[in-house]
Amino acid sequence: MDRFMELAMAEAEKGLAEGGIPIGSVLVCDGKVLGSGRNQRVQYGSAIRHGEMDALENAGRHPADVYARSTLYTTLSPCAMCSGAILLYGIPHVVIGENRTFRGEEDLLRSRGVDLEILDDKACIEMMERFIRDKPELWHEDIGV
């Protein structure tokens, strides 16, 4: 597993340990981590604190050229909200741990020129399968079912 995806997985594991949803994300530019985060909807009582959104928030403000050179690592395929943020900030490359348990707006991202790399990572898949099995009501709340 890539070191940045390992960091995203560590964020997901922290979220799970906190009673939240195990999705982690890391924003990287020129080999440097700008921000990392995890889904914290439960922890913050937030409607928008998905893993990708949390990583962007923790990265703080940057000029457009920084985002244009960045890669976003996420343990799970990005939802519509997070995909919108990826497009808004012009992030050109997204590395996705897995998209079997949830396939987000990958077609939209590709149609707008975002390069997606799907790792189909076993650890990411197993973590989400276990979470969905153990806490289906929380998972359905998070994805709007």
- Residues 57-87 pLDDT 10s: 999 999 999 999 999 999 999 999 999 999 9
The whole-number pLDDT of residue 23 equals 98
Q: What is the mean pLDDT of residues 110-119?
A: 98
The DSSP code for 78 is -
What tokens were used for 64? 């457009």
Active site residue 129: no
pLDDT band at 127; cut points 50, 70, 90 = very high
Half-sphere exposure of 143 (CA within 13 A, CB side): 20
List, for residues 21-56, the tens digit of each pLDDT value: 999 999 999 999 999 999 999 999 999 999 999 999
> Is the separation of the CB atoms in 29 and 56 below 8 Å?
no
Selecting among 6, 11, 13, 52, the annotated active-site residue is: 52
DSSP H helices, the chain, are 3-17, 41-44, 51-59, 64-67, 80-89, 106-111, 122-134, 136-143
DSSP H helices, 90-135, are 106-111, 122-134
List, for residues 3-24, the tens digit of each pLDDT value: 999 999 999 999 999 999 999 9
In angstroms, the CA 109 to CA 117 distance is 12
